[in-house]
Structure 1
Amino acid sequence: MNQGFQSFLKQWYTTQPASNLLRQEKVLTEKALQNLFGYFLIQLGNAAPISFLNESRIKHKVLVDDAFDTKDPSFVGIKYVKADLDFLPIANESTDVVFMPHTLELAEDPYLLLRQVDSMLVPQGHVVITGFNPYGCAVLRFRAQSRNKWLRHAHLVRLRRLKEWLEVLGYDIKWQVHAPVYCFGKPGSEQPGLVMWFFKALEWCEKVLSKVGFDFGNIYCLVAQKRVDAPKLVGKRWHTPNWMSIAAKGVMPMQNRSRLPGFFQRVVCRLRRLKLFSFLTKKTCD
């Protein structure tokens, strides 16, 4: 686990340019978590100075991380487990929701971490993942600055690659969204009219380009559900042997092959009743 990058994000989010990104991420995560239910919610890693779990309706919330300040007032009511995120001490199929804020960007092997999360989740459980878009305009600008070496050398995971990993593990993508475009300042009513128009135009372009697969929002949020295929019960029909369908194709079953064919059998039986063919057995005309 890259503890240096995690410490950098906690300090970087307190600065003025990055605080706008944190505000956008909080809006996305609260919208994703407020409609997920269950008994246990586990957050893996903590790369922000605030808590994203306040809007969750799940009662039991647990934070798993290498280091954590237990006196932080924003994490009141949340249990803490100290553990290495590369080796999670969570039982199989014991968690309803797993929240991963930039956790894949901190992991040495992101796909291995996803496999551990898959074993933790119950059937039909959910995983919520947030991360930086490598092609976001603000992310590109911050990575180009020489003082942001941790952000410049970070292993950012594209949303399309993350969806491929989840589909291989058997997950259904329930919800995915990018934050609005933010490049050089926070769009708001306090900005001049020309600047406000510029950000409105950028947001409109982002919505148009997102329809053809291009997203320039700096933060993305994804919700996926664990799919478990159950066997389909068909009742008593599965006991029917395949050879029984042979009778429908014109081939007589084994017990009826000693009898004569239809029309000829009826003629012979009529003659027997007239005692013309008394040598025929009774079984022939049953």
Structure 2
Amino acid sequence: MNRPISEKPIIALGPWLTSPAGSYVRRWEEAQLGLLTADIFGFNAVQIGLPEIDGLAASRMPHRWIAHTAIPPEDKLQAIVVHDFCELPFATQSLDLVVLPHVLEFAHEPHQILREVERVLIPEGQIIVTGFNPASLWGARQAATRLVSRPFLPQSGELISVPRLKDWLKLLNMEVHPGHFGCYAPPCDTERWLQRFDFLEQAGVRWWPFLGGVYIVQAIKRVKGMRLIGPAWNRKKATARQGVPATNKHINQKNEHG
């Protein structure tokens, strides 16, 4: 029996990101991801899904890819076409950073995707996950509109709470950082109303920080019983020279001198 493709629902989120509410979410996430990824060092970084959000724009890593079920509309990164995010075409312990923008909450098998990400991350590698916060006005509107079969978000995926996501990551021996929350304005449909509630951004961070409409969770892969003695630069350089093996065809591979 063929496994159901877990990425199909997330495709519908791309067009939604061009709406006023979607643009509001995208701007906040790209700004926060830029701050986080700029300070993560290594050689190989991958964003899984949702090319409409440029999660690796500020990354300093020399090798950056985006894994997607189709060729991305914009040629921002080297693209790898995959059939299923549950079976990533990367060698075990070959990536320094994996970014998952809104993939888990719209996937059929989020646990398997996380297990696969844990497999491809090197020891001390990092994962960054973004998602819609069910404990927020955004989550409340999604739950209410689903009752009338008109969900606010493009697909009626299962929103994952931050404590639940952290539990999943800890079961995979991930050390979880404190979460980042944002988008405190109510889930309005127009840019005009979103701008009227702009004052809630700073107020939300100060007074109700865990009620933002969107969250970002960052974690580091820890390997029990492992101790790093001295810098691991030589080993990482060798890995970078060899490249990251992939079983799927690389699409739109850029010329390094172009």
TM-score class, shorter: 0.7 to 0.9
User: 2:91 maps to which residue?
Assistant: 91
**Could you say if the C-alpha distance between residues 152 and 216 of structure 1 is closer, same or farther in structure 2, counting changes exceeding 3 Å?**
farther
Aligned pairs, number: 218
Contact 1:62 1:81 in 2 (8 A): no
User: 2:253 maps to which residue?
Assistant: none
Per the TM alignment, residue 230 of structure 1 is displaced from its structure 2 partner at its CA by 3.1
Within the alignment, does 1:106 sit opposite 2:101 as a pair? no
Looking at structure 2, the residues matched to 218 and 95 of structure 1 have their Cα atoms a distance apart, in angstroms, of: 30
Candidates 55, 58, 67, aligned match of 2:58 = 55
Contact 2:124 2:220 in 1 (8 A): yes
Structure 1 unaligned runs (5+)? 233-286
Candidates 25, 30, 33, aligned match of 1:29 = 33
User: 2:248 maps to which residue?
Assistant: none
User: 2:168 maps to which residue?
Assistant: 165
Contact 1:86 1:107 in 2 (8 A): no
AA paired with 1:134? Answer: P
Per the TM alignment, residue 116 of structure 1 is displaced from its structure 2 partner at its CA by 1.2
Contact 1:143 1:151 in 2 (8 A): no
Looking at structure 1, the residues matched to 21 and 182 of structure 2 have their Cα atoms a distance apart, in angstroms, of: 15
Looking at structure 2, the residues matched to 187 and 217 of structure 1 have their Cα atoms a distance apart, in angstroms, of: 19
Looking at structure 1, the residues matched to 178 and 61 of structure 2 have their Cα atoms a distance apart, in angstroms, of: 19
SS in 2 for 1:126: strand
Per the TM alignment, residue 206 of structure 1 is displaced from its structure 2 partner at its CA by 5.4
Per the TM alignment, residue 231 of structure 1 is displaced from its structure 2 partner at its CA by 5.8
User: 2:222 maps to which residue?
Assistant: 227
Q: Deviations over 1:94-115 (max 9, x none)?
A: 1111111111123212112111
Contact 2:13 2:155 in 1 (8 A): no
Contact 1:28 1:179 in 2 (8 A): no
**Structure 2 length-normalised TM:** 0.74
SS in 2 for 1:51: coil
**Could you say if the C-alpha distance between residues 105 and 141 of structure 1 is closer, same or farther in structure 2, counting changes exceeding 3 Å?**
same
Looking at structure 2, the residues matched to 158 and 140 of structure 1 have their Cα atoms a distance apart, in angstroms, of: 13
Normalized per residue, the structure richer in helix is 1
User: 1:117 maps to which residue?
Assistant: 117
Structure scoring higher RCO (CA < 8 A, sep ≥ 6) equals: 2
Structure 2 unaligned runs (5+)? 228-258
SS in 2 for 1:53: coil
**Could you say if the C-alpha distance between residues 5 and 149 of structure 1 is closer, same or farther in structure 2, counting changes exceeding 3 Å?**
farther
User: 1:66 maps to which residue?
Assistant: 69
AA paired with 1:28? Answer: Q
Kindly report which structure 2 residues correspond to 1:156-195, keeping only aligned pairs within 5 A, or say none: 156-183=159-186, 184=188, 191=196
Kindly report which structure 2 residues correspond to 1:267-286, keeping only aligned pairs within 5 A, or say none: none
Looking at structure 1, the residues matched to 162 and 195 of structure 2 have their Cα atoms a distance apart, in angstroms, of: 32
**Could you say if the C-alpha distance between residues 60 and 206 of structure 1 is closer, same or farther in structure 2, counting changes exceeding 3 Å?**
closer
